[in-house]
Every structure is written in C-alpha cells, then in structure tokens.
Amino acid sequence: MPRKNDKADKVILQNSLKTLAANIRFSSVDHLAHSIAVVSSIPSEGKTTIAVGLGKAFAAGGSTVIMVECDLRRRSLASALGAHGRHGLYSVVSGRHTVEEAAINAGMPNLYFLDAEPSIPNPADLLQSRRFHNLMGTLTKMYDYVIVDTPPVNTFVDAAVVASLTDATVLVVRQNFTRREDVRASYTQLKQAGAHVIGTILNFTDADTSNKYYDYYEEGSSNKGNNKSYEILKEDTPHTSKAPVVTPDNVQATPDDSDNSQDVTAVAYRRPATHLASEKPVKVALDETTELLKNAGYYTDDASTVNH
C-alpha cells in the first residue's frame, strides 16, 4: 500500500521508536538494561524488524549500539540492516578475531553489527558456552547497548539461553496470528530460564483504527494537555496489515521479519479482549507482562486460564 502522507509516516515512525527506546531505558532505575534480547514465540512475528528499529533509535539518541545475530539457524539481521561483515560471532567466540575486527558499522553513526557465520555447528552449544557468556560481558563494556536477535522461543532453546544472559527481554506477540498457548509457553520458558522479561510488544494491530487516532492527535496537537492518544509507529506497506500498541509505560510495536516494509501503527491504549482499544489510555508497567497479555486478549481474568 503506498504512503498516504510521507511526512506523517516519518513523524510517527520517529516518535514510536523514541518511545519504545525510552520505555526500555527507564523500565527500571535500579536495573538498567544495557543488553536486550528481542524474542518471539514463533516465526514471522516481527522481532527482527523491532530489534533493528530499537537499535537505530538508541543510536540516533547518541548511544553506541551493537546488534548481535544470535539466530544462528536463520540469520536475518544482515539483510535487515543492509550490512555484511567478513567475520562473525563464531570467529570471535573461538578467538580467531577480536570484536573490533569482526564488528562493522551498520550504516549510521553509533550503530554496529556482529553477524554470525552460516551453518555454525551446534548453535545451542556455542550459545551456552562460557566463551559466549564472556563475550556478552565484553560487549556490554564496549557499547552502551547490546541488542540480540534470537530464534523463536518455542522452536529452539537458543532464545531462552541468550535471553538469560541479557539485562532485559521483550517478547513480540503478533496479534491474531500467534496462538495463546504459544505465548504462554514461551513466556513461561523465558521466566524459567531466568530471563528478565520486561514487557511485550503487541504487533500488527489494526492499522485503520490507528490512523484515526493519529488524525485526532494531529488535530489536537495545539492543545497538548488534552491529547487522548499517542500515535506510535507507521511504516510503508505493500498491503493492508496489522500493527502495535504502546503506552508510555508499556511496549508494543512493529512488523514482519522479511525485508518488505510493513504498515506499523500503534496507539497508547490498553486493548480489552473483545475490542481494539478502550476509550482511555491506561499505563501499564513494563514488567507487568502477564497483565498486558490479559488485556490483549491472551488471558482471561484468571491468569492461569487461557482465553479461548
């Protein structure tokens, strides 16, 4: 679908990424998140796109960021970033090259990328190794933020292993696509592995409704105290798609893992189980992931019961 308003799209995109980065940055004053794992339950929920957008937002704010490819079976960061290095993760972990030799600039100031070589043998063993653990510690000392892209949680153990080594984990949930039991299983697996899950990103929410909120926001921009919605994210799309939801205290945002640009719109509204959005914005703390999923329709009032 062609863009209807390039200027509006750009503003929404910039604001959404800033909001997402700020939410994560201030998710806990006592537990600063310098390393972040972006995970999903199953493929095609948009985690790679969100990881890249988050990295660019931090870099644009002046922080040094390194994106690390930890989906060793199905690499996608290189294509998403448009950057390809000569050396990769295995080379660094094995001691053949240093981080400085392997990491490359990812096309903008402050943003760097450590790719992974194709066909790495025994990916799970590498990610569980002491050397990889030490590498993560080294990267957090070298860069302000380390953002890792992982395979789906419910597909391989790799995601939970990597997430347990990071300061924060965000779980991408694609609306009307991911099964409730998959979301519950992945969230439980992450928590059992010791991952610090600070929030979820509800992806592919209704674009038309979000556009309505953006129009309202534009019309009321002169009266800042009375704005009832925060339009968060919108990108170009070749077809009608779904998109995210974000409040100042909770994360929810963006598109598909493919190279095709998607329409990604988000509103600062809590979504009840049977409606896109409530009439009033409601703040939800980043670490209240179960509550957030309940409001997105993935749980009933009893958090132990799946909402069918």
pLDDT in tens, 105-148: 999 999 999 999 988 888 999 999 999 999 999 999 999 999 99
Write the pLDDT tens digit of every residue in 179-203. Answer: 999 999 999 999 999 999 998 887 7
Amino acid identity for residue 215 in this structure = D
| Weakest-pLDDT range from 47-51, 227-231, 259-263 | 227-231
Strand ordering across the sheet containing 111-114: 104-105, 111-114, 65-69, 145-149, 35-40, 168-174, 197-206, 242-245
In whole angstroms, what is the distance from residue 194 CA to residue 189 CA?
Answer: 9
HEC letters along the chain: CCCCCHHHHHHHHHHHHHHHHHHHHCCCCCCCCCEEEEEECCCCCCHHHHHHHHHHHHHHCCCCEEEEECCCCCCCHHHHHCCCCCCCHHHHHCCCCCHHHHCEECCCCCEEEECCCCCCCCHHHHHCCHHHHHHHHHHHHHCCEEEEECCCCCCCCHHHHHHCCCCEEEEEEECCCCCHHHHHHHHHHHHHHCCCEEEEEEEEEEHHHHHHHHHHHHHCCCCHHHCCCCECCCCCCCCCCEEEECECCECCCCCCCCCCCCCCCCECCCCCCCCCCCCCCCCCCCCCHHHHHHHCCCECCCCCCECC
CATH of 6-295, one of 3.40.50.10490, 3.20.20.150, 3.40.50.300, 3.40.50.1820: 3.40.50.300
In whole angstroms, what is the distance from residue 212 CA to residue 71 CA?
Answer: 37
Q: Is 206 exposed, middle or buried (CB count within 10 Å of its CB: 0-12, 13-18, 19+)?
A: buried
In whole angstroms, what is the distance from residue 79 CA to residue 260 CA?
Answer: 11
Is-contact 165 195, C-beta < 8 A? no
Structure tokens at 259: 């190279």
Write the pLDDT tens digit of every residue in 74-100. Answer: 898 999 999 988 999 999 999 999 999
pLDDT, residue 226, reads 36
In whole angstroms, what is the distance from residue 90 CA to residue 264 CA?
Answer: 34
Q: Calculate what percentage of the chain has a pLDDT beyond 70.
A: 60
Amino acid identity for residue 299 in this structure = Y
